Amino acid sequence: MKKAAFWERVDSSQVCCGLCRFRCLIGDGARGICGVRENRGGTLYSLVYGTLCSAQIDPIEKKPLFHVMPGSSTYSIATVGCNFHCRHCQNFSISQLGQDSPVRGTEVVPDQVVRQAVEYGCRSISHTYTEPTINFEFACDTARLAREAGLLNVFVTNGYISKEALKEISPYLDAANIDLKGFSDSFYRNLVQAKLSEVLDSILEYRKLGIWIELTTLVIPGLNDSDEELTGIASFITTNLGIDTPWHVSMFHPTYKLTSRPSTPLATLQRARNIGLAAGLRYVYEGNVPGRGGENTVCPTCAALLIERHGFKIVSNRVKAGACPECEAVIAGIGL
């Protein structure tokens, strides 16, 4: 347990948490919407500082980040809890912590995480599986040490961090994969219990601060797969983030509280990818369907195959010093 950052006392018993965009008003003895920040006697505490429920080595492609050190390993860590309550969460067993549930995990300190990442040959540390924002204090302390050790820092996030918190960690945060789960207010309200406008504002803030971003949309049949929504996302990316911003459109599988929907048809994923490419995006990838070609990187200028992937595995990488070996076009990203 550690005293939290980004909060203020409202009265003798209540505090307002300013870590994420929900800005929870929390009474004495209660927790915020994330379930891991608790008001104890007028002081807000993080219940998950250094308490990891998961720590493992992943390919960076699993985040998914296709334009950040392709083929490298990342040390993935997570704590329990999340500030979103997505009906289709694939990690619900660790993300959906009840208000009175005990925090579980293994106690570690920041320099221990960094040492392990280095020992395992990882080139980055990824805060992932659950929402990294809710473990901000530990993430920030770890990121500072990781930067000193020459490691990159990655967030896999729902994009609901407050501007103040993002600004503080931004000097140490190199890349983020942000879920843009849909492009309608009703989708975010009914499936996620959040606001689309806040996510869009957050994405723009990431870009403004110079953090490399890739976006992911899990395409759910009948809920966010219309041409209108997919075109809206593609247009938002091209207009506000630039055509070099990778967009991952991924296959949905029924899970958690959303088992009534079928898995995403391959034709729908292909349609989503074509919409992105037609909008001018240079890098649109199909996720959760390995071996079909939609996960490969091709040169946006001459169409040469540059990075061939099968799932999270790099089959071949022909990019040379960040450029296409055929036409010398620059390929956007970090460490390509």
How confident is the prediction along the chain (336 residues), in pLDDT tens digits per residue? 899 999 999 998 999 999 999 999 999 999 999 999 999 999 999 999 999 999 999 999 999 999 999 999 999 999 999 999 999 999 999 999 877 788 999 999 999 999 999 999 999 999 999 999 999 999 999 999 999 999 999 999 999 999 999 999 999 999 999 999 999 999 999 999 999 999 999 999 999 999 999 999 999 999 999 999 999 999 999 999 999 999 999 999 999 999 999 999 999 999 999 999 999 999 999 999 999 999 999 999 999 999 999 999 999 999 999 999 999 999 999 999
C-alpha–C-alpha distance, residues 39 and 29, integer Å: 5
58 and 95 assigned to the same domain: yes
The pLDDT value recorded for residue 220 is: 98
The pLDDT value recorded for residue 72 is: 98
Which neighbouring-strand residues pair with 15? Answer: 9, 26
Handedness of CA 275, 277, 283, 287 (dihedral sign): positive
145 and 41 assigned to the same domain: no
222 and 84 assigned to the same domain: yes
- pLDDT digit string (tens) for 160-203? 999 999 999 999 999 999 999 999 999 999 999 999 999 999 99
247 and 325 assigned to the same domain: no
26 and 126 assigned to the same domain: no
- pLDDT digit string (tens) for 37-70? 999 999 999 999 999 999 999 999 999 999 999 9
The pLDDT value recorded for residue 16 is: 98
Q: Which amino acid is it at 245?
A: T
Structural domain boundaries, residue 249: 51-298
190 φ, ψ (degrees, to nearest 5): -85, -35
The pLDDT value recorded for residue 12 is: 87
328 and 179 assigned to the same domain: no
311 and 190 assigned to the same domain: no
User: In angstroms, what is the C-alpha Rg of the chain?
Assistant: 20
The pLDDT value recorded for residue 101 is: 84
Exposed, middle or buried by CB within 10 Å (0-12, 13-18, 19+), for 41?
Answer: exposed
CATH number at residue 153: 3.20.20.70
The pLDDT value recorded for residue 1 is: 86
Q: Which amino acid is it at 292?
A: R
37 and 131 assigned to the same domain: no
84 and 170 assigned to the same domain: yes
The pLDDT value recorded for residue 119 is: 98
200 and 333 assigned to the same domain: no
Kindly state the helix (H) or strand (E) to which residue 169 belongs, with its residue range: helix 163-169
88 and 109 assigned to the same domain: yes
39 and 106 assigned to the same domain: no
Give the tokens for residue 314. 């790099």
Residues 6+ apart with CB under 8 A from 149: 114, 117, 118
The pLDDT value recorded for residue 98 is: 77
Provide the number of structural domains found in the chain: 3
Is the distance from CB of 188 to CB of 200 less than 8 angstroms?
Answer: no
Upper half-sphere CA count for residue 271 (Cβ side, 13 Å): 15
To which residue do tokens 């929504």 refer?
A: 229
